[in-house]
């Protein structure tokens, strides 16, 4: 199997609901995401995918949707306050943990038709979360989380004990 990995950097703010640690407060990160693609055969140019194409497709999505955004659970009580202040938000149906953001990047890569197999998200220089899955672009069987560009992305089945959620409202300007 051939593999390529591209690094993306972006800044975001978030906080965690239903959590007692210090991450329950609004704070930010300078994230580094490593996106791994795999293919059993190379394209006619001898590549899994041109790095520039990966940057153009997934990098552009990251820049337009996550970079310098507050990424919050859509039930977070601070959402209306930030909306009123004119902040651009990216809302999820799940807590915006590094694990869920890695899953989101994986799923968005798949949605864009990329053969993504793994995402490693470095929230800090010492803390990494990841998500691995099959290299199946456009796999409609995968559960999705959150909202992308105002489009509904059906949520995963909620974990036992999670609070009920409302339909997602999309990216808010």
Q: Is 63 annotated as catalytic?
A: no
Closest CA to 156 of 94, 96, 65, 110: 94
Q: Is 127 annotated as catalytic?
A: no
The Cα–Cα gap between 66 and 29 comes to: 11
Return the CATH class of domain 2-68+96-139. Answer: alpha beta
Question: Rounded to whole angstroms, what are the CA distances from 52 to 7, 70, 79?
Answer: 12, 27, 35
| Residue 144: both structure tokens together | 């999705």
Active-site residue, selected from the candidate residues 64, 68, 99, 126: 68
Burial class for 124, CB neighbours closer than 10 Å (0-12, 13-18, 19+): exposed
Domain boundaries, the chain: 2-68+96-139
Question: DSSP label at 168?
Answer: P
Closest CA to 5 of 139, 112, 121: 121
Cα–chain center distance at 42: 27
pLDDT tens for each residue of the chain, 173 residues long: 999 999 999 999 999 999 999 999 999 999 999 999 999 999 999 999 999 999 999 999 999 999 999 999 999 999 999 999 999 999 999 999 999 999 999 999 999 999 999 999 999 999 999 999 976 654 333 344 544 433 434 444 444 454 434 334 444 43
Q: Is 123 annotated as catalytic?
A: yes
Burial state string for 107-117 with b = 16 or more CB within 10 A and e = fewer than 16:
bbbbbeebbbb
What per-residue confidence (pLDDT) applies to 171? 43
What per-residue confidence (pLDDT) applies to 155? 43
What per-residue confidence (pLDDT) applies to 119? 98
Cα–chain center distance at 10: 11
Helix (H, G, I), strand (E, B) or coil at 74: coil
Active-site residue, selected from the candidate residues 14, 29, 73, 123: 123
Active-site residue, selected from the candidate residues 23, 34, 38, 99: 23
What per-residue confidence (pLDDT) applies to 134? 77
Q: Put the strands of the sheet holding 27-39 in their side by side order.
A: 89-92, 69-73, 2-14, 27-39, 116-124, 127-132
């Amino acid at each position: 199997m051939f593999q390529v990995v591209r690094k993306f950097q972006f800044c975001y703010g978030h906080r965690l609901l239903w959590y007692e640690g210090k991450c329950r407060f609004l704070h930010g990160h300078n994230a580094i995401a490593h996106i791994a693609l795999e293919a059993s055969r190379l394209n006619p140019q001898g590549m899994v995918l041109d790095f520039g194409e990966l940057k153009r497709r997934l990098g552009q999505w990251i820049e337009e949707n996550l970079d310098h955004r507050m990424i919050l659970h859509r039930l977070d009580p601070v959402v209306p306050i930030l909306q009123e202040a004119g902040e651009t938000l990216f809302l999820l149906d799940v807590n915006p943990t590094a694990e869920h953001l890695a899953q989101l990047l994986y799923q968005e890569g798949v949605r864009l038709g990329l053969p993504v197999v793994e995402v490693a998200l470095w929230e800090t220089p010492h803390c990494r979360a990841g998500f691995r899955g099959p290299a199946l672009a456009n796999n409609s069987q995968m559960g999705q989380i959150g909202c992308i560009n105002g489009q509904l992305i059906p949520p995963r089945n909620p974990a036992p004990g999670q609070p009920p959620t409302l339909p997602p409202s999309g990216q808010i300007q």
